Amino acid sequence: MALILRRTLAVFSILLTLSLTAAPAATPVVAQENLRYAAIVIDAESGEVMFARHADARRYPASITKVMTLYLVFEALEQGKIKLDDVIRVSAHAASQPPSKLGLAAGQTITVQDAIHATAIRSANDMAVALAEHVAGSESRFTAMMTLKAEELGMTQTRYVNANGLPDSRQLTSARDLAVLCRALLRDFPQHYRYFGVNSWFYGGREYRNTNGLLSTGQGYDGIKTGFTNASGYNLAASAVRDGRRIITIVLGGRSTASRNEHVASLMSTGFEVAARRRGGERIEVAQTFFEQRGFGIGPETTEGGVLYAALPGDAAAGSRADPEDSDVRLVSAPAPRTDRTGELNRQPTAPAPSTRRSTPPVPAGLWSVQVGAFRDETVARDWLNEVDRRFRAQFRGADRRVVNASGWFRSRFTGMTEDAARAACAALDARNVTCQVVRPD
């Protein structure tokens, strides 16, 4: 009996060991930075960059390419080279473009105006090529025109090799360049911009809905263009008007249509909040700081709360889905608790309390600094430093400009100053409502 009991216990022990080793350990959920992500928010009238994150990094534009295609079409219309009622005969090359497309066969015809509607609303790849061929004779000649126009507009990171944004590793842009393009579109062709805000369009007995879902939200959106490829992720160039002010927001590399739209809406609302606070008399010298205090621009490399542009392990495969609306991958963008971290780095020091201790020895002249901001984006920090230098050249004559990286915060500083010069400069900035801080040598 004892022998049987021992054998039974041994078998049970073996089975228990096997069951424990067969079950995989729970994999911890680790956030990974979305390397395709980039964003920028600008005031359309003044051109002020209110927020930027990886704005100069090269990205794939996908169908936002069609904004440049239509810019050149509008230019040809205004120059009298083509007309809205021109009839385009669809070429075999245009007809062969993959979806999304209108689907006309080679030899069929369509007017320029209908082709514009199809390109702006349906995001039709075949009609973008048909328009390009109608304007320039061939798509290759038209894309050369696109690249030249990009250079003319100051789009320094952009190159085009096709007219519709279909995948090609040579076709690159940046969030900042797309903001420049969208602002130029509004400035140069306001009479044609309306095409981007049309919710639906009827053609051939069928209704086509705009790919930009924000147009129907009632929040002042009137454009501009969506885009998606496996390589680019979910892109959106959006524009909205509230209380008479227009803001343009570009988001590239989203993880899904829904999460991209939500993120654009959050950035846009924050931009309009900055504008409203300024109208109310609140001093917001650098809008980027306001965005950062709301958690935008703080990536997963930090331990502080922030808006995290990340995906969970295993989500990457979902990016290969052809239909953007079917993707269930989510761009994590939960609002973070507000933090005073940026404010602490930017604000002026409080007056020191009286002390009975012996004063410290004087520090050498020429080692003092003035800090005029602290940002999560190095480019923003450097641009602001240059702007302050331009506006207060007399105060910082002879000083060096430095961007100091301190644990992920890029501090904009003028260095190599005497104590008197630093304090005088800071007083001049404060009189003009520009935040500054005198930094004592270490």
Bridge partners of 43, per DSSP, are 247
**Phi then psi dihedrals of residue 235, to 5 deg:** -105, 155
123 is catalytic: yes
Which stretches of 230-357 are assigned E, i.e. beta strand? 233-242, 245-254, 310-311
Query: Which three-class secondary structure state does DSSP give residue 387?
Result: helix
181's CB contacts (< 8 A; 6+ apart) are 67, 68, 71, 150, 153, 155
Query: 366: exposed, middle or buried (C-beta count within 10 Å: 0-12, 13-18, 19+)?
Result: middle
Catalytic residue among 66, 101, 149, 225: 66
Closest by CA position to 102, among listed 115, 111, 89: 115
Local structure of residue 227 (DSSP, 8 states): E
Q: At residue 390, what is the residue type?
A: R
66 is catalytic: yes
Catalytic residue among 123, 259, 266, 369: 123
In angstroms and rounded to an integer, the radius of gyration of the C-alpha atoms of the chain is: 28
63 is catalytic: yes
Residue 223: which region, alpha, beta or left (left: phi > 0; alpha: psi -120 to 50)? left
CB atoms within 10 A of CB 317: 8
Q: Give the whole-angstrom CA distance, residue 393 versus residue 230.
A: 47
Catalytic residue among 63, 100, 239, 369: 63
What are the structure tokens assigned to 349, written together?
Answer: 């020091």
User: Catalytic residues, which ones?
Assistant: 63, 66, 123
